[in-house]
């Protein structure tokens, strides 16, 4: 364009010269006629509308010049944004994988899990005959059954998660081995297995062919006939499957066949619905079948149990709801931090744009359009945001790696590890860019509009000496108010979460988790009678170890494991009354070992054995709910089956044996010696009460070795099990705490930076006041008060928002009963105190100004 | 002022048509277009450079003309504009409607 216009100008000059005018004069005339090269150029550009890419490049070049002129400010802005964006991105990465990801199978929407529901409780599995009865019922879809087991591989220390799988499972879910085949109905195919690609790599390295080799699981050989897709590890996040074997192989893992027992719920059922089918019609059909099945096989069973079809397009996990709640809370806080970061940057930009007023005014006077100036400023902001976003992505990767590291040592290591392993994928990348752009608009639009909304003539006349009115800082102050309000909300949330966690940790659990060890024993493949005998022997060996107070045997485990439930039938006034109740089979030492307080009656004694009248101990809740206010002791009812009448001999304190966050359900305790043939005791565990934690796991292992026992033991302190079971709460507390601190730091940087800027702008005015005799303390107070005003307003607004959001928070944090006044007051006091210091520094600077020098300041 | 002939501003909206016409015979650079229009109009229509180049760029963006850098007779680089097929059609259309309109105006003004 330049060259073309110069060419034109030269031609014009030539013509004048031809007319006999001196070259210099000719040039002048030509220039006059042409009318200013620069103006023409700008005009031509605007009219033609430069190709968008050219225009963008021009804006980017200009922006780069502007940003590198103030490298420190630019770095501060980029870092601030990076922290804000990084937090949101890291959480989005997890959210994406956890909440939005669907199973990588064809039409995952058609998948549904068939679960049992009873009085609000959901049971994930049903009995094998019940599962079989659903097969072939068209309205329920194509059902498949499966169950998870863990098994030692090749008799080594390595173990695998094995899925017992019905033949239709692969067809139903829609997955197929990439190499090899699925087993068929032939009897020879019963001892075959499919392995995951991860398992193939673990066992055979990258190149080799696994098909045809054999693998020993729980002491039984299986022939590998296929390898699944890389990345496929089943449909549950809690159980990443390594090996799939036919469901007929169940006895090889459990020791006894469970196919005929209608009372044993162990089969999970998934179904694929046809295009026209709904979960509702499936429900109806399944329940019709289930009702007749129950009449035939389970006379007298609880008729309130129903089957229900639940959509299962996403990978299943037990903890979905609590993780989701924690995640949504954390992401909300992360967005608040980003908001503070954006407000910071907006303030900085506002401050800078008032410093750039002259530049902008000059450009406007030279004919630049307002829209092109706004565009230019927004381009600068977008550049800042993109740099911030890139850095933020890096921070996100680091953060999630740290989180994975933290989680790896915890109970949910596998799940959270799999969630955070790869944050960077296309979706998070797109999300980060979109987020960066949104924040660029968020922090950039207001300053850009304000900066260009000035009359250039007026601005150019300003010398910088004059004090501008308060209105100039109005936008900045209101942003500050938002920032402070947000940081108060963040801090209150963080403190509330921390306080709640502390409350949970110090909760009265109803038993004594300290100095309590839980010994889990690997009973796989061991018959019930053998495990009972061995468990008693191991418990007595442990009792003999010095430092051990007592040891008991229970099933299921004292703390944290799945519970077993049965039905209790009332005897007496109302024969038809029955209800499902959870029970634990225990030895007489159990209550002492667990440190559970007896309220009434007596605990079990060694005399409560087979052959004498069966007894039970109930917990408080059971005593209250089962007997309608009558005294529990002496009550009789039928347990397990109608002819097994038991008498209540004791009532114990409620104990939170399922986990600290769930209240104790009604519980029955049954003496181990009395339940032969009645109750099922699959997971005999030993509880050890010690004196001052002196008993090490090795001592227990040694004692057990002396018994010539080949069982593998896992000794865990129960208080650590409790801490681990609270991993989600603790991660929530850590993240909210981190965001709270981050938010406050960013907000305070905002307060300080802005106030320092305001003082710098007012230097001349303050100089005059000092010169006219204002006392320094007066100036100090004045400047400080000016800075604290938005702080005060912000803190009050934050309190209001926190009070309003308390209801929302309550649903997301376990045990939160509302915003604690003391916590809120502490948060507000902290924010105001730090802001006070942040404002004091510039105020002191102002009070120490030398009037003579200040007056000369621009 | 020497060499200053009375000049008429190009009628609003007709500049595009005139430019298209000017480049319709052979490729031509910006200066050449002003010269040619001046010459054809018997020194009456002097195109203002400030509006010539924006018009050229706009026409180029609309695809009516295309441009190429070439070397002039006296060895300088200049951008030559030539008519595209779409430009030729546009020129024909505009020429026709202009003729009709100006004839109508002339008829009215010719009334005695």
pLDDT digits (tens, 9 = 90+) for B11-51: 656 888 888 999 988 888 888 888 888 888 888 887 877 77
Q: Is A610 helix (H, G, I), strand (E, B) or coil?
A: coil
Do B49 and A43 count as a contact with CB atoms less than 8 A apart? no
Which has the minimum average pLDDT: A56-70, A404-418, A433-447, A621-635?
Answer: A404-418
Q: Residue A14: left if φ>0, alpha if ψ -120 to 50, beta else—which one?
A: alpha
Locate the chain B residue with the closest alpha carbon to A3.
Answer: B78
Mean pLDDT of A512-522: 83
Mean pLDDT of A280-285: 83
Mean pLDDT of A755-764: 78
A812's CB contacts (< 8 A; 6+ apart) are A325, A326, A328, A329
CB atoms within 10 A of CB B5: 9
Asked if the C-beta of A37 comes within 8 angstroms of chain B's C-beta atoms, the answer is: no
**What's the token pair of residue B60?**
């180029």
Q: Which residues pair with A164 in a beta bridge?
A: A147, A245
Between these two residues, A729 and A384, which has the higher pLDDT value?
A384
Query: What is the C-alpha separation between A203 and A616, in angstroms, rounded?
Result: 49
Residues of chain A contacting residue B57, judged by C-beta atoms under 8 Å apart = 44, 47-48
**Tens digits of per-residue pLDDT, A800-854?**
888 887 776 666 655 555 567 788 888 889 889 998 888 888 888 888 887 777 7
Q: How many residues does chain B have?
A: 112
Percent of chain A beyond pLDDT 90? Answer: 4
Query: What is the C-alpha separation between A361 and A379, in angstroms, rounded?
Result: 18
User: Closest Cα to residue A167, out of A286, A248, A47?
Assistant: A248
Q: Which of A7, A19, A39 sits opposite B76 (nearest CB)?
A: A7
A770's CB contacts (< 8 A; 6+ apart) are A776, A779, A849, A851, A854
Please tell me the predicted confidence (pLDDT) of residue A333.
Answer: 84
Q: Which residues pair with A72 in a beta bridge?
A: none
Q: A21, A42, A47, A50: which to substitute to probe chain B, counting the most B Cβ within 10 Å?
A: A47
Please tell me the predicted confidence (pLDDT) of residue A559.
Answer: 76
CA-based nearest distance B112→chain A, Å = 41
**Tens digits of per-residue pLDDT, A424-443?**
667 777 887 888 888 777 77
Do B54 and A47 count as a contact with CB atoms less than 8 A apart? yes
Please tell me the predicted confidence (pLDDT) of residue A547.
Answer: 82
CA-based nearest distance B23→chain A, Å = 16
**What's the token pair of residue A266?**
């162990």
Above 50 in pLDDT, residue B4? no
Distances (CA, A) of B60 to A46, A452, A589, B56, B90: 15, 32, 95, 6, 13
Reported confidence tier of residue A665, pLDDT bands at 50, 70, 90: confident
B11's CB contacts (< 8 A; 6+ apart) are none
Query: What is the C-alpha separation between A480 and A755, in angstroms, rounded?
Result: 10
Please tell me the predicted confidence (pLDDT) of residue A41.
Answer: 67
Please tell me the predicted confidence (pLDDT) of residue A682.
Answer: 62
Q: Exposed/middle/buried for A382, CB within 10 Å: 0-12, 13-18, 19+?
A: buried
Q: What average pLDDT does the structure give for chain B?
A: 82
Q: A1, A5, A7: which to substitute to probe chain B, counting the most B Cβ within 10 Å?
A: A7
Query: What is the C-alpha separation between A333 and A742, in angstroms, rounded?
Result: 10
Q: Which of A7, A21, A35 sits opposite B50 (nearest CB)?
A: A35
First-residue to last-residue Cα distance in chain B: 39
**What's the token pair of residue A138?**
């068209």
Query: What is the C-alpha separation between B68 and B78, in angstroms, rounded?
Result: 8
B24's CB contacts (< 8 A; 6+ apart) are B83, B88, B91
Enter the DSSP assignment of A714.
E
Do B31 and A7 count as a contact with CB atoms less than 8 A apart? yes
**What's the token pair of residue A774?**
């204002």
C-beta pairs of A318-326 under 8 Å, 24+ apart in sequence: A318/A238, A319/A238, A319/A412, A319/A415, A319/A728, A320/A98, A322/A728, A322/A814, A323/A98, A323/A728, A324/A98, A324/A99, A325/A811, A325/A812, A325/A813, A326/A728, A326/A729, A326/A731, A326/A732, A326/A812
User: Which backbone phi and psi does A848 adopt, to 5 degrees?
Assistant: -95, 5
Helix (H) or strand (E) holding A180: strand A179-180
Enter the DSSP assignment of A662.
S
Query: What is the C-alpha separation between A516 and A519, in angstroms, rounded?
Result: 10
**What's the token pair of residue B28?**
């031509």
CB atoms within 10 A of CB A595: 19
Please tell me the predicted confidence (pLDDT) of residue A271.
Answer: 92
Do B61 and A40 count as a contact with CB atoms less than 8 A apart? no
Pinpoint the alpha helices (H) of B1-112. Answer: 15-22, 30-40, 49-62, 85-110
Query: What is the C-alpha separation between A706 and A250, in angstroms, rounded?
Result: 32
Pinpoint the alpha helices (H) of A194-319. Answer: 197-204, 250-254, 279-297
Q: Which residues pair with A519 in a beta bridge?
A: A686, A715
Do A48 and B50 count as a contact with CB atoms less than 8 A apart? no
Q: Is B53 helix (H, G, I), strand (E, B) or coil?
A: helix
Query: What is the C-alpha separation between B90 and B98, in angstroms, rounded?
Result: 12
Between these two residues, A352 and A337, which has the higher pLDDT value?
A337
Which has the minimum average pLDDT: A35-39, A593-597, A602-606?
Answer: A35-39
CA-based nearest distance B105→chain A, Å = 31
What b/e string do you get for A770-791 counting C-beta neighbours within 10 Å, with b at 16 or more?
A: beeeeeeeebbebbbebbbebb
Q: Where is mean pLDDT largest: A64-78, A309-323, A582-596? A: A582-596
CA-based nearest distance A451→chain B, Å = 29
Q: Exposed/middle/buried for A493, CB within 10 Å: 0-12, 13-18, 19+?
A: buried
Cβ atoms A290, A307 nearer than 8 A:
yes
Do A12 and B79 count as a contact with CB atoms less than 8 A apart? no
Please tell me the predicted confidence (pLDDT) of residue A470.
Answer: 44
Query: What is the C-alpha separation between A239 and A406, in angstroms, rounded?
Result: 20
Above 70 in pLDDT, residue B87? yes
Mean pLDDT of A24-53: 69
Asked if the C-beta of A38 comes within 8 angstroms of chain B's C-beta atoms, the answer is: no
Query: What is the C-alpha separation between A657 and A361, in angstroms, rounded?
Result: 72
**Tens digits of per-residue pLDDT, A739-759?**
888 888 888 888 887 788 778
User: Closest Cα to residue B38, out of B12, B10, B2?
Assistant: B10
Q: Which of B2, B30, B58 sits opposite A8 (nearest CB)?
A: B30
Do A35 and B61 count as a contact with CB atoms less than 8 A apart? no
**Tens digits of per-residue pLDDT, A141-176?**
889 999 988 787 886 667 788 999 998 899 999 998
Helix (H) or strand (E) holding A125: strand A125-126
pTM: predicted TM-score of the whole model, two decimal places: 0.62
Enter the DSSP assignment of A774.
-
ipTM of the complex: 0.73
Q: Any idea what the Cα angle at residue B19 is, between residues B14 and B21, rounded to 5°?
A: 95
Locate the chain A residue with the closest alpha carbon to B69.
Answer: A4
Q: What average pLDDT does the structure give for chain A?
A: 78
Between these two residues, A107 and A344, which has the higher pLDDT value?
A107
Percent of chain A beyond pLDDT 70? Answer: 81
Cβ atoms A740, A834 nearer than 8 A:
no
Query: What is the C-alpha separation between A529 and A531, in angstroms, rounded?
Result: 6
Asked if the C-beta of A35 comes within 8 angstroms of chain B's C-beta atoms, the answer is: yes
CB atoms within 10 A of CB A102: 12
Distances (CA, A) of A575 to A251, A801, B83: 37, 55, 102
Pinpoint the alpha helices (H) of A409-521. Answer: 413-420, 426-452, 456-461, 474-505
A333's CB contacts (< 8 A; 6+ apart) are A490, A493, A494, A735, A736, A739, A740, A743
**Tens digits of per-residue pLDDT, A238-248?**
788 889 999 98
CB atoms within 10 A of CB A225: 20
Above 70 in pLDDT, residue A658? yes
Mean pLDDT of A732-741: 82
Strand positions, DSSP E, A522-644: 548-555, 564-570, 578-586, 598-601, 615-619, 636-639
Please tell me the predicted confidence (pLDDT) of residue A164.
Answer: 93
CA-based nearest distance A370→chain B, Å = 20
Do B78 and A33 count as a contact with CB atoms less than 8 A apart? no
Residues of chain B contacting residue A1, judged by C-beta atoms under 8 Å apart = 53
Between these two residues, A180 and A731, which has the higher pLDDT value?
A180
Between these two residues, A247 and A100, which has the higher pLDDT value?
A247
**Tens digits of per-residue pLDDT, A356-375?**
767 777 777 776 667 777 88
Locate the chain B residue with the closest alpha carbon to A18.
Answer: B3
What b/e string do you get for A399-426 counting C-beta neighbours within 10 Å, with b at 16 or more?
A: bbeebbebbeebbbbbbbbbbbeebeee
CA-based nearest distance B77→chain A, Å = 8
Above 80 in pLDDT, residue A389? yes
CA-based nearest distance B2→chain A, Å = 8
Pinpoint the alpha helices (H) of A357-425. Answer: 357-365, 370-408, 413-420
């Amino acid at each position: 364009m330049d060259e073309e216009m110069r060419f034109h100008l030269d031609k014009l000059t030539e013509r004048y010269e031809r007319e006999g005018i001196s070259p210099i004069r000719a040039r002048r005339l030509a220039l006059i006629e042409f009318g200013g090269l620069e103006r023409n150029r700008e005009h031509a550009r605007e009219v033609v509308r430069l190709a968008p890419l050219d225009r963008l490049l021009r804006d980017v070049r200009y922006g780069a010049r502007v940003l590198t002129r103030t490298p420190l400010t630019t770095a501060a802005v980029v870092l601030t944004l990076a922290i804000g964006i990084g937090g949101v991105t890291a959480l989005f990465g997890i959210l994406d994988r956890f909440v939005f990801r669907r199973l990588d199978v064809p039409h995952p929407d058609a998948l549904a899990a068939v679960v049992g529901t009873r009085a609000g409780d959901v049971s994930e599995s049903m009995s094998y005959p019940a599962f079989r009865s659903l097969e072939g019922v068209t309205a329920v879809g194509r059902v498949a059954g499966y169950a998870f087991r863990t098994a030692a591989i090749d008799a080594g220390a390595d173990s695998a998660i094995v899925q017992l799988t019905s033949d239709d499972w692969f067809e139903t879910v829609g997955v197929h081995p990439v190499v090899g085949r699925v087993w068929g109905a032939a009897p020879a195919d019963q001892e075959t297995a499919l392995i995951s690609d991860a398992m193939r790599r673990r066992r055979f390295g990258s190149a080799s062919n696994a098909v045809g080799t054999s693998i020993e699981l729980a002491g039984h050989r299986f022939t590998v006939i296929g390898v699944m897709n890389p990345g496929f590890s089943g449909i549950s996040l809690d159980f990443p499957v390594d090996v799939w074997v036919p469901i007929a192989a169940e006895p090889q893992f459990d020791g006894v066949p469970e196919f005929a027992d209608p009372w044993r719920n162990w089969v999970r059922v998934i179904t694929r619905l046809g295009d026209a089918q709904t979960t509702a019609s499936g429900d109806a059909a399944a329940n019709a079948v289930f009702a007749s099945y129950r009449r035939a096989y389970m006379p007298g069973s609880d008729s309130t149990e129903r089957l229900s079809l639940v959509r299962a397009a996403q990978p299943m996990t037990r903890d979905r709801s609590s993780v989701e709640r924690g995640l949504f809370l954390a992401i909300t806080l992360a967005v608040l931090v980003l908001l503070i970061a954006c407000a910071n940057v907006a303030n900085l930009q506002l401050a800078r744009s008032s410093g750039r007023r002259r530049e902008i005014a000059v450009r406007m006077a030279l004919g630049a359009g307002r829209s092109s100036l706004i565009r230019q400023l927004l381009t600068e902001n977008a550049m800042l945001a993109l740099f911030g976003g890139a850095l933020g992505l890096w921070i996100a990767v680091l953060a999630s790696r740290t989180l994975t590291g933290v989680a790896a040592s915890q109970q949910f290591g596998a799940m959270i590890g799999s969630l955070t392993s790869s944050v960077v994928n296309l979706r998070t990348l797109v999300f980060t860019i979109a987020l960066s752009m949104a924040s660029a608009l968020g922090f950039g639009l207001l300053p850009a509009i304000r900066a260009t909304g000035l009359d250039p003539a007026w601005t150019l006349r300003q010398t910088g000496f004059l004090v501008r009115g308060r209105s100039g800082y109005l936008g900045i102050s209101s942003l500050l108010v938002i920032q402070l309000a947000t940081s108060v909300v963040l801090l209150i949330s963080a403190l509330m979460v921390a306080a709640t966690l502390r409350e949970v940790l110090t909760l009265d659990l109803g038993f004594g988790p300290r100095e309590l060890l839980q010994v889990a024993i690997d009973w796989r493949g061991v018959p019930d009678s053998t495990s009972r005998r061995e468990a008693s022997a191991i418990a007595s060996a442990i009792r003999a170890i010095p430092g051990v107070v007592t040891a008991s045997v229970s099933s299921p485990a004292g703390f944290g494991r799945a519970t077993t439930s049965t039905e209790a039938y009332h005897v007496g006034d109302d024969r038809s009354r029955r209800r499902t109740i959870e029970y634990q089979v225990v030895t007489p030492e159990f209550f002492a070992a667990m440190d559970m307080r007896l309220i009434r009656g007596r605990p079990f004694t060694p005399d409560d054995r087979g052959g004498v009248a069966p007894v039970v101990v109930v917990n408080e809740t059971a005593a209250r709910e089962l007997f309608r206010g009558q005294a529990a002791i002496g009550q009789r009812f039928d347990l397990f089956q109608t002819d097994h009448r038991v008498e209540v001999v004791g009532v114990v304190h409620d104990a939170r044996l399922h986990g600290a966050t769930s209240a104790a359900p009604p519980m029955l305790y049954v003496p181990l010696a009395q339940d032969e043939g009645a109750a099922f005791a699959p997971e005999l565990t030993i509880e050890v009460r010690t004196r001052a934690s002196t008993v090490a796991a090795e001592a227990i292992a040694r004692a057990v070795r002396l018994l010539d026992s080949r069982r593998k033991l896992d000794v865990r302190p129960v208080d650590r099990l409790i801490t681990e079971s609270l991993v989600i709460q603790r991660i929530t507390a850590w993240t909210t705490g981190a965001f709270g601190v981050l938010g406050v730091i960013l907000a305070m940087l905002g307060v300080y930076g802005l106030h320092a800027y305001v003082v710098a702008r007012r230097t001349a005015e303050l100089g005059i006041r000092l010169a006219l005799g204002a006392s320094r303390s007066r100036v100090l107070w004045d400047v400080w008060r000016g800075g604290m005003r938005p702080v005060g307003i912000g803190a009050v607004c934050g309190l209001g928002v926190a009070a309003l959001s308390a209801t929302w928070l309550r649903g997301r944090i376990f045990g939160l009963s509302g915003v604690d006044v003391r916590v809120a007051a502490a948060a507000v006091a902290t924010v105001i105190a730090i802001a006070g210091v942040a404002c004091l520094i510039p105020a002191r600077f102002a009070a120490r100004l030398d009037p003579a020098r200040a007056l000369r300041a621009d | 002022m020497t060499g200053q002939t009375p000049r008429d501003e190009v009628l609003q909206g007709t500049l595009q048509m005139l430019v298209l016409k000017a480049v319709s015979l052979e490729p031509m650079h910006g200066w050449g277009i002003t010269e040619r229009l001046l010459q054809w109009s018997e020194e009456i229509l002097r195109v203002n450079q400030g509006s010539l180049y924006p018009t050229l760029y706009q026409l180029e963006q609309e695809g009516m003309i295309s441009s190429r850098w070439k070397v002039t007779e006296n060895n300088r680089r200049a951008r030559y504009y030539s008519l595209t097929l779409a430009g030729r059609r546009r020129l024909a259309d505009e020429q026709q409607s202009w003729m009709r309109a100006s004839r109508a105006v002339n008829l009215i003004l010719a009334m005695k």
